[in-house]
Amino acid sequence: MRAFSITRAPALLALALALLVHAAAARDVATNGDGTRLPLARASDPSCPWLGNVLDAARASPLVKGLVQRTRMAAPFGPGSWPAPLEVDDADAADDADDADRRRFGWKRALVLAAKARVADAAAASAWLPKNLLTLSDDLAATVFIAWYPDSFCCGAYHEAAIVFDVTYGGGDDAVDALHCPWMLVDKDRSMIAGREILGFPKKLGEFAFTLTTEDGATIDVSDPSVDVADVLSRAARVDASVTREGATLLNITGALTKKGFARREPLLKDERNVFLNVQTNHPLPPADASKPRDPACLGNRPRLLQFVFDEVVTDDTYDLKDAAVALTQTKTDSIGAPFGFKGIETGGDLDVLGMKIGITNFYTGLEGTPTLGPTVPSGFIENDDVYWLRYQ
């Protein structure tokens, strides 16, 4: 007997799936009078009980709701399999929702080390933005941060590092200030999947180190579950945080805490309400020609601008840092030095730091529980080689 070839498995599985889908279509799928297809399954259809479970989960969690509404779970066999988007009641969006309810979905007691840095190469930075949709703000500034989340409603505890641009959407009197994230690393797969699939953050995996050195010289890992981070931060003299990916230390942030003067509490990101405008890229790389018709498997769908809002609530003191330094190295698959004036691969240096602070804060999704899809991203953005490597590899 001939041995089964593993190289033939994908083709055989695809053929089997096609036959099953064809049989189901011939047996179960009805059409309206005008010939349009009815849904393949409904929540009330006993032959598909899993869909009811998905809807219940979507009503309970904004991230699951976003997944149901924005990805192929709402159209598993292509755009023709649902005549309209799957809708989920949004009870949490009521104006009279109390504060506690709106804060059910959050990242609590997060330790965030954030530096404001100057964008040295505006042209290179603009290449990271979806053309004709977002522009760099006049301040030509970026926030570079490393964070430790001891608790999150979706993904447990994890580290995160990112570069975030100040951007503007629209023009004239209708211009809106927002943030755009073109690069982000995390160290948990759950966070990577949720962030990429639903919220448009181009997350990849990295390895992190985040320590505080107290005034008596003790160096403490903030991710140690036995550590009271707020207590350590109140006694800390220095901070050192870094993220490594594929053997290269891409980002290292250091500084000495200044604690003189009055205590203050201010956002670690830009504002108390941070509007992110990212790009939805939860499908295969689209064709370069945006004029081509969409194919039945969704492969031709262009990415779209996606809006998501984080409310930041600071409950602890915020400290400035002196002697602050942000050292950055770029590689072929993380060309993060380009906006800061570093040319070529495996190059980098110290960023022009405009200010740095550290503190414990909270992020919530209360004002906008699920993402809002906006305009289609024009051809030429995702297809750009630098952007492709940056976002997908």
CATH number assigned to the domain comprising residue 366: 2.40.400.10
Is 5 domain-assigned? no
Asked whether residue 262 falls in the same domain as residue 179, the answer is yes
- Distance CA(145)–CA(160), nearest Å, equals 8
Other beta carbons less than 10 A from residue 10's beta carbon? 9
For 6, the token pair is 């593993």
Give the pLDDT band (50/70/90) at residue 33. Answer: very low
- What is the reported pLDDT for 388? 79
The one-letter code for the residue type at 63 is L
- Distance CA(155)–CA(305), nearest Å, equals 24
Is 93 domain-assigned? no
How many domains in the chain?
Answer: 2
On average, the pLDDT of the chain sits at 77
- Distance CA(111)–CA(337), nearest Å, equals 25
Among 38, 67, 88, the domain-final residue is: 88
- What is the reported pLDDT for 12? 40
Least confident of 215-224, 289-298, 338-347: 289-298
Model confidence at 126: pLDDT above 90: yes
Largest CA distance in the chain: 82
- What is the reported pLDDT for 115? 97
Pairing of strands 141-149, 158-169: antiparallel
Other beta carbons less than 10 A from residue 61's beta carbon? 20
Task: State percent of the chain over pLDDT 70.
Answer: 68
Least confident of 51-65, 134-148, 250-264: 51-65
pLDDT digits (tens, 9 = 90+) for 75-122: 544 444 444 444 555 444 444 445 666 677 889 999 999 999 999 999
For 187, the token pair is 């160290």
Asked whether residue 27 falls in the same domain as residue 133, the answer is no
Is 311 domain-assigned? yes
Asked whether residue 18 falls in the same domain as residue 115, the answer is no
Q: Are the CB atoms for 178 and 159 separated by under 8 Å?
A: no
Please compute the mean of the pLDDT values over residues 257-269 and round it to a whole number. 81
Model confidence at 335: pLDDT above 60: yes
For 369, the token pair is 């529980």
Asked whether residue 170 falls in the same domain as residue 33, the answer is no
Asked whether residue 77 falls in the same domain as residue 189, the answer is no
Asked whether residue 219 falls in the same domain as residue 270, the answer is yes
Model confidence at 158: pLDDT above 70: yes
- What is the reported pLDDT for 245? 96
Model confidence at 144: pLDDT above 80: yes
Asked whether residue 84 falls in the same domain as residue 103, the answer is no
Is 189 domain-assigned? yes
- Distance CA(110)–CA(113), nearest Å, equals 10
Q: Helix 49-60 crosses helix 62-70 at what angle (to 10 degrees)?
A: 130
- What is the reported pLDDT for 20? 37
Concatenated DSSP letters for 169-187? ES-GGG-EEEEEEEEEEES
Asked whether residue 38 falls in the same domain as residue 141, the answer is no
pLDDT digits (tens, 9 = 90+) for 38-49: 333 333 443 444
Is 4 domain-assigned? no
Among 53, 69, 88, the domain-final residue is: 88
Please compute the mean of the pLDDT values over residues 177-181 and round it to a whole number. 94
Asked whether residue 140 falls in the same domain as residue 245, the answer is yes
Is 116 domain-assigned? yes
Task: For residue 187, give its domain range.
Answer: 99-392
- What is the reported pLDDT for 51? 53
Please compute the mean of the pLDDT values over residues 119-144 and round it to a whole number. 94
Is 309 domain-assigned? yes
What's the sign of the alpha-carbon dihedral 225, 228, 234, 235? negative
Q: What's the whole-model pTM score?
A: 0.77
- What is the reported pLDDT for 22? 39
Is 217 domain-assigned? yes
Asked whether residue 104 falls in the same domain as residue 55, the answer is no
- What is the reported pLDDT for 63? 73
Give the pLDDT band (50/70/90) at residue 145. Answer: very high
Among 62, 88, 114, the domain-final residue is: 88
Model confidence at 24: pLDDT above 50: no
Model confidence at 309: pLDDT above 90: no
Task: State percent of the chain over pLDDT 90.
Answer: 46
Asked whether residue 38 falls in the same domain as residue 67, the answer is yes
User: What is the Cα Rg of the chain in Å?
Assistant: 23
Give the pLDDT band (50/70/90) at residue 198. Answer: confident
Asked whether residue 78 falls in the same domain as residue 138, the answer is no
- Distance CA(323)–CA(118), nearest Å, equals 17
Please compute the mean of the pLDDT values over residues 252-281 and round it to a whole number. 86
